[in-house]
Amino acid sequence: MSGDLGLFWGQLFRKPDQVVALAPSSRALAEEMVATLDPRRGPVIELGAGTGRITRAILARGFAPDQVHAVEMNPAFCDNLRTRFAGLNVHCLSAADVGGLALRGAQAVVSGLPLLSMPLALQHAILAGSFAHLDPGAPFIQFTYGPRPPVRAELRASLGLTWTKSAKIWGNLPPARVYRFCQPDRRPME
């Protein structure tokens, strides 16, 4: 655990614009992020896995490591994830390319990305690529420290997103909320 902190802060110092957090997510936040996941309902995609706080919480719900696809662009974090979680699918690439992952039937995308600090085009690529893997009603799950939804208003509108938000999680530094965004079913009725 203290090794995780050293790695996290080392990368925060080197790449502050990518890590964008003072500390890894707390156990309380990680547990809220994964609270609705069920290993019987298919694989999970995790974006911005970092040192694996949320990854660990996903696995603790009973997922086999090969049911989890962790997307992380920082090679030092990727090496650490591969060492810590044998069998995990670690994709060392930008979340902008998540739509190209070869997998079927994901039940959710769980994101620890600093989404709000990203340019709109990058946010759009990440959201559109994520929803390409999700059936209508399946969630894109994202935490945020601020008072507003962590997906920009114009993107929520253009992707037709609805959402719910959790109570504030005080046991995190800083306190955070978890949002679950979904696309409604727009298929014509038969």
Ligand X SMILES: C[S@@+](CC[C@H](N)C(=O)[O-])C[C@H]1O[C@@H](n2cnc3c(N)ncnc32)[C@H](O)[C@@H]1O
| Least gap, CB of 28 to ligand X (angstroms) | 12
Stretch touching ligand X by CB under 6 A, among 14-22, 100-108, 133-141, 155-163: 14-22
* DSSP string for residues in 88-145: -EEE-S-GGGGGG-----B-EEEE-S-GGGS-HHHHHHHHHHHHTTB-TTPPEEEEES
| Least gap, CB of 124 to ligand X (angstroms) | 13
Stretch touching ligand X by CB under 6 A, among 36-44, 56-64, 91-99, 169-177: 91-99
| Least gap, CB of 188 to ligand X (angstroms) | 35
Q: Is the CB of 6 or the CB of 136 nearer to ligand X?
A: 6
113 interacts with ligand X by CB under 6 A: yes
Candidate list 37, 72, 131, 142; residue touching ligand X; CB under 6 A: 72
144 interacts with ligand X by CB under 6 A: no
67 interacts with ligand X by CB under 6 A: no
Cα 111 to chain centroid, rounded = 1
**Nearest 5 degrees, angle CA 92-CA 160-CA 169?**
65
| Total of chain residues touching ligand X, rule CB under 6 A | 22
**Nearest 5 degrees, angle CA 57-CA 93-CA 106?**
50
Candidate list 7, 45, 54, 81; residue touching ligand X; CB under 6 A: 54
Phi-psi region of 105 (alpha: psi -120 to 50; beta: other; left: phi over 0): left
178 interacts with ligand X by CB under 6 A: no
Q: Is the CB of 32 or the CB of 72 nearer to ligand X?
A: 72
Whole-angstrom Cα distance, residue 188 to residue 35?
31
The residue whose two tokens read 């970092």 is 50
Contacts of residue 56, Cβ cutoff 8 Å, sequence gap at least 6:
30, 85
Stretch touching ligand X by CB under 6 A, among 43-51, 101-109, 146-154, 179-187: 43-51
Whole-angstrom Cα distance, residue 113 to residue 31?
17
| Interface contacts to ligand X, rule CB under 6 A | 18-21, 24-25, 48-50, 53-54, 71-74, 77, 94-96, 112-114
